[in-house]
Structure 1
Amino acid sequence: MSVLASAAPAHFESIGISPRELSEVIGAVYDCALDPLLWPGACRRISDLCESTGGGICVHDLRQVQNDQLFVFGYQPEFLEKLGSQYAESPMAVSDVVANIGDVSALSMAQFHLREGRFFREVLEPFGLQDMMWFPALRTGGRMASLHASRSDASPRYQAHDVGLFSLLAPHVCRALAISDALDIRALHSEVLEKTLDGLAAGVFLTARDGRVVYMNRAAEQQVKSGKSVRLANNRLAPTDSAARAALSKAIDQSTRDDDADVRASEHSVAVPDGVGGGYIATLLPIESGQRRGVLAPFAASVAVFMQDPIQAPPMPGEAFARLHKLTGGELRVLLSLAQGLGGMEVADMLGISEATVRTHLQHMYSKTGTSRQSDLLRVLSNSAPPLGVH
């Protein structure tokens, strides 16, 4: 019996779906990790499961300041154009600066003051949209991706059980996108699989059900050869850090049954430190079922482990600043709005809060940053943002 099937029935009744329905959607999401062309179908299945009228994936390029909607459906082209032009000022973009990967938000949550804000009046309401729900799913360098769903004004706003269901799916979407990003290819084909894997910068380890490594690409061989973060012991992956070793072993075991496993688990990656401030991030993909099984069938493997260097630079201007000074989401939303040259009244109107609340947030930020004027606060923010550089 699967873990999902043995889970408390009341848990699934509360979100209105069966364990089998959830497992099938999760399996479809994992198939996308090796073939991104399958994302349109997966996005529709996720939205249907959450009783949404629209959805898709948003990729925001911070260097080019552009917003691309991928695999979207259920939206008027004019709405997507409007959303793209105002995305940087939207509650979603500002909230995601301080949110953790996989954290689910809905515009109807109290902190977004949905109906009082300019975003609702100018972007959602004219196109008949009632609510949007989303989570940041991937941050790499200057890019950020999030998966979203929406409801029209003929549907109710998202409730706690809708957010709970989206939260069950979030870690699996995050894992699949992380793997696709590590591969940086459109699809894998078995006849050229080994050559393709050897050309990747990420280390790829394919393991059997018992954890034995059945294949390593060239990058993985180099990672093992250096021995700083990961080694082989009895032909099994063995991080040099004992806590990472236990976590990776548990994750590999979990991934052999991940299509049916406890999808409430939030971890989709394992940190593998080297003990001197460096190391890798291991991302795991179960490959015993779905289209993944056919792609990697020549290796008779059960789990793929992608080992890559983490990106050290803050993914968005403002994130490092917010974490350093312990700003709240509301404070950071005000700060980033002011940084765009808006005045206090305009910020209040855009965020749907009062001018008094804007002033209160400013006073709190002055105290946290050791500043006393808005110009000084904005200067400190500007100085803290990493240069984008030329690539």
Structure 2
Amino acid sequence: MDVMLGRAPELGRLVSYRGPERRRGSPDRWWRHALEAIDLGVCLLGGDGVLLYANSTARQQLNEHAPLQILDGQLLAPQLNDQTRLDNALADVQRGLRHLICLGRGAARLSLSVLPLQDGHGRQAQALLVLGKRNLCGELPMLAFAREHQLTAAEQQVLQSLCAGLQPQEIAQRHGVAISTVRTQIASVRAKTATESIRDLVAMVAQLPPMQGVLRVMELR
């Protein structure tokens, strides 16, 4: 899927965001804390393509090995064709258009959406960049899901394997158990989660809200 985002930056270091939310109790400051608590990469760009804010998940995803990187306070795609998509996306964002783009190839492939934001006077001021999930379900949401539905450790392991795309026979071989055991565990998970098929079960897990596995303590000044 191809649609666009960004602006050609120069090499350098990440510029940390120093916005007006440094005032104690400011709603903007609390929104920054909220974005740090979810396992979903989020960036805020100015109308000129300058990076205003990137949460910790985004900074982890946009590293030196990623098809999109944060350098000198801007977004840089190492590959020229990806950079072109980035440039076109930001240009379209200025016209109020939304886009979804996919950058890179193989395991490093990154999908992201680019959403236009407007100021209080209806003028295009910024763009919201939301990165695709790194995996179907993070460790913490999976653990919370297992606890909510009272899954055993073995059932949780089987569920994680299903979400990783493994077939029951592959799960049995990997864990050194009989296929009948895996099928019994899958049936138990489906009963506890009130799902009618493996597809419904995996879809249910895919819809879990992202949660950070590490509590990040931030200064509230």
Shorter-chain TM-score bucket reads: 0.3 to 0.5
Question: Which of 1 and 2 has greater Rg?
Answer: 1
Structure having the larger proportion of residues in helix: 1
> TM-score by structure 1 length?
0.26
Of structures 1 and 2, the one scoring higher in RCO (CA 8 A, sep 6+) is 2
